[in-house]
A and B are shown apart, each in its own frame.
Chain A
Amino acid sequence: GENVEQHPSTLSVQEGDSAVIKCTYSDSASNYFPWYKQELGKRPQLIIDIRSNVGEKKDQRIAVTLNKTAKHFSLHITETQPEDSAVYFCAAREGANNLFFGTGTRLTVIP
């Protein structure tokens, strides 16, 4: 099955700086890559996703890039704000199969 690895496990940045979280996947057939943000005790919220037919997608301060050849994808958050502090999970899926999640990154934005 799919194996998704996520780095780093923790990340601290100063407010206003950028944050980058990276994930790799093992199954070349995976074609859907969502990112979720989870605040303490809350549900994971879908913040952005990308499909394998595009290499980059942007939504305001959030962007995701995908390199199918290398089988890795990254989340980029620019101009970070304290409310960006949360745990972020990447995931990968092939077709109608299950989502496989990364181990999560705890992002702390220092005011």
Chain B
Amino acid sequence: GAVVSQHPSRVICKSGTSVKIECRSLDFQATTMFWYRQFPKKSLMLMATSNEGSKATYEQGVEKDKFLINHASLTLSTLTVTSAHPEDSSFYICSARGIYEQYFGPGTRLTVT
């Protein structure tokens, strides 16, 4: 299947700082990328849909000013968690969609202290 990379894989930051997570589709162009959050032993919760060249569409309950998404090109989307707090600690996974299939990045474990 297609390859999606995500960086960093782990990050620890202090409360109040911002963290940027990058998601890249390495061998295909993804017009649409998704950002998910996953709590331990839970399913994937869609946070937002990111379309190249346009504003992201956020799911209900997700603060767009806190979770900034930029989809600058067909192969790169970034998620910035602004003014992070301990409750933002989670596993964040991006996903890129081809024609039908949707592939996931390896995830980023964010810990806010």
Q: Is there contact, CB below 8 Å, between A46 and B103?
A: yes
Given A43-B104, A49-B100 in contact, is the A102-B93 Cβ separation under 8 Å? no
Interface size on A, residues (CB 8 A): 20
**A44 contacts B by Cβ under 8 Å:** yes
Question: Closest Cβ of chain A: how far from B65's Cβ, in Å?
Answer: 22
**B27 contacts A by Cβ under 8 Å:** no
Given A44-B44, A89-B44, A98-B46 in contact, is the A32-B104 Cβ separation under 8 Å? no
Q: Is there contact, CB below 8 Å, between B102 and A46?
A: yes
Q: Is there contact, CB below 8 Å, between A44 and B101?
A: no
Q: Is there contact, CB below 8 Å, between B93 and A51?
A: no
Among A83-107, those with CB < 8 Å from B are 89, 96, 98-99, 101-104, 106
Q: Is there contact, CB below 8 Å, between B101 and A34?
A: yes
Interface size on B, residues (CB 8 A): 20
If over half of B's interface residues share one DSSP class (helix, strand or loop), that class is named, otherwise mixed; here it is: strand
Q: Which B-chain residue is minimally distant from A93 (CB atoms)?
A: B102
Partner of B1, one of A32, A46, A98: A46
Among B34-83, those with CB < 8 Å from A are 34, 41-44, 46, 49
Partner of A98, one of B4, B49, B104, B106: B49
Q: Which B-chain residue is minimally distant from A89 (CB atoms)?
A: B43
Question: Closest Cβ of chain B: how far from A26's Cβ, in Å?
Answer: 16
**Contacts of B109 on A, CB cut-off 8 Å?**
41
Known: A34-B102, A89-B44, A98-B34. 6 other contacts (CB 8 A): A32-B100, A41-B109, A46-B101, A51-B100, A98-B46, A99-B46
